[in-house]
Amino acid sequence: MPASAGKMAKTWKSGQILVKPNAGLSDAEFEKILRGNQGKSSEKIGNLPVHVVSVPEQAEDAVVRALAKNPHIEFAELDMAQPMSVSTPNDPSFAGAWHLTKIQTPDAWDVSKADGITIAILDSGVDGSHPDLASHMISGWNAVDGGSDTSDVNGHGTAVAGAAAAVTDNSLGVAGVAWNAKVMPVRITNDSTGYAYWSDIARGLSWAADNGADVANISYGVSGSSAVSSAAQYMNSKGGLVVVAGANDGIDPGYANNPYMISVSATDGNDLKASWSNFGAFIDVAAPGTYIATLLRGGGYANWNGTSFSSPVTAGVVALIQAANPNLVPADVEKVLKNSADKVSGLDFDPNYGFGRINANAAVQLAINTLAKDTLAPTVAISSPAVGSVVSGLVSVAANASDNVAVSQVSFYAGGKLVGTDGTAPYTFTWDSKTVANGNINLTTVATDSSGNQGSSTAVTVNVQNQTTVTITDQAAPTVAISNPVNGAKVSGSVVNISVAANDDVAVAKVQLYINSKLVSSSTSKTLSYSWNIRKLTAGSHTIQAIATDSSNKTANVSIQVSK
């Protein structure tokens, strides 16, 4: 049974996490929040508002949890290591490209061969010398090290590229779905196992969007990554689409629909979902993914299995649609793909197949008969704060927006001055009210859709009441105490509840908890509570340490010993 390759061999990247601050939060305030959680921005990924944040090793999960609770952080997530959504290829003497007939590509090619379309293949690299790819290759990029080496370190990327856009009608090998599309190789891993980190995938996608890709294929299960979603939204804003593999765990991972990616499940020759294909509300369409005749690096051919191949087959159909009607915006292209799909289960939407199994011929026919003329403006409203609210300091602002096609972005204004723009829902902002005088001020938002239509919200009037700044000299270091357990206690059971409290003459900036020298929790309040799982704790003595830091960076610490 195909499964995500090398599953569980790796987890996340040590010493770094991915964080997106609210739109409008200043760099200084963002860095202040990061410092309070032992973090520091080491990179802003391309043109995305997503940061790679350095944190202490083994503290990644604790820092993500702390930042996720901060109202001025849109998201914080681990930099997960993602396996390829593929099984090993079988039967080098492959037998026919059944999937092309199933999705009616021969008829589609009478209308569109994807001329002028560039498909970015974000993968393990591509063997650009393969005779069934060489004439389609354009220059690419290595997203891991920033270099130009896009050779295939695994073989997966070459097979994926062939499924999407192998050279066709050349009396050689196999046919790709997007007959005349160009292939842009973007290598997102330098690891021969094919594992790729979310940060490298997001970085590669941002680069592809900036360098002319019309559609990007990611044959990895990234539908649950906020960082990759931000990069996909950026690709959408540049006029491109992103197609991703649903992954091969045979489960419903519980993801909600992602409006910025086309997530694909895999079907077999009988239009049944492959047993190993993931399913759920996040699946947009299904496509053939079993025994897909495609390429081997080094010049060979084989049949491959996995959502790794239903994804590029779909990306190829997207390219056919784009070439058939270049006036369609990304949201229109996705709508055409879904509306033209065959309802193989008889349902308009089925979690196994999304909106149906793709049909290339129906898609291009619908595309050429679709008028790309959206004149309806989106609607937008500020949901928080409420009218008449008294605000001070950093203010969290939230907005809801909708459109008949797709919302591209929402911009937030305070007193007519732009504070920030957010391209991904939920639309959240941070406004520093100290930049304006005390008194009433109008807050507004403007939503822009994929056709450039704009809609404005009703103004929300709030009352700014910031206190006059009084400088207080910090005279003393903070104090900190562990109230439970007590020093010398013998712990038992499954969980020990640890309680820490700190005080200072001005303000406590953070409280950190270490167990046996490992950071396990951090808080920006004066108190900290932590549930310590001791079921697998070894017998003997163990050290619990709490460190308090005040706003002047003075520290205090306390340690106790417990035993099991």
Domain ranges of the chain: 98-368, 379-464, 479-563
Give 499-502 contacts, CB < 8 A, sequence gap 24+.
499/527, 499/528, 499/529, 500/527, 500/528, 500/529, 500/530, 500/546, 501/526, 501/527, 501/528, 502/478, 502/526, 502/527, 502/546, 502/548, 502/556
Task: Identify the DSSP state of 84.
Answer: B
pTM comes to 0.80
Closest CA relative to residue 185, chosen from 124, 259, 115, 109: 124
**What is the architecture of the domain spanning 479-563?**
Sandwich (2.60)
Is 210 annotated in the active site?
no
| CATH of region 379-464 | 2.60.40.10
- Unique residue bearing structure tokens 């008969």: 369
Q: Residue 359 in contact with residue 104, Cβ under 8 Å?
A: yes
Closest CA to 285 of 353, 214, 231: 353
Is 308 assigned a catalytic role? yes
Give the pair of three-digit tokens for residue 52.
């790679």
Contact assessment for residue 262 and residue 241, using Cβ atoms and an 8 Å cutoff? yes
Choosing from 51, 99, 123, 226, the catalytic residue is 123
For residue 539, the SS3 value is coil
Task: Return d(Cα 526, Cα 509) in angstroms, integer.
Answer: 8
pLDDT in tens, the chain (564 residues): 233 444 444 689 999 999 999 999 999 999 999 999 999 999 999 999 999 999 999 999 999 999 999 999 999 999 999 998 865 444 333 446 899 999 999 999 999 999 999 999 999 999 999 999 999 999 999 999 999 999 999 999 999 999 999 988 777 889 899 999 999 999 999 999 999 999 999 999 999 999 999 999 999 999 999 999 999 999 999 999 999 999 999 999 999 999 999 999 999 999 999 999 999 999 999 999 999 999 999 999 999 999 999 999 999 999 999 999 999 999 999 999 999 999 999 999 999 999 999 999 999 999 999 877 788 999 999 999 999 999 999 999 999 999 988 899 999 999 999 999 999 999 999 999 999 999 999 999 999 998 889 999 999 999 999 987 666 677 899 999 999 999 999 999 999 999 999 999 889 999 999 999 999 999 999 999 999 999 989 999 999 999 999 988 999 999 999 999
DSSP state of 255: P
Annotated catalytic residue within 4, 223, 263, 308: 308
Which residue of the set 4, 156, 214, 523 is catalytic? 156
For residue 407, the 8-state DSSP code is E
Instruction: Give dist(CA 503, CA 345) in Å, integer.
Output: 63
Is 14 an active-site residue? no
**Homologous superfamily (CATH) for 98-368:** Peptidase S8/S53 domain (3.40.50.200)
Shared fold status for 379-464 and 479-563:
yes
What burial letters (b/e) apply to 29-49, b meaning 16+ CB within 10 Å? bbeebbebbbbeeeeebbebb
* Cα Rg of the chain, angstroms: 26
Q: Where are the beta strands (DSSP E) in 55-172?
A: 73-82, 118-123, 141-142
**What are the angstrom distances between the C-alpha of 235 and each of 185, 205, 213, 282, 450?**
16, 7, 9, 19, 12
Sign of CA dihedral 257, 259, 263, 269: positive
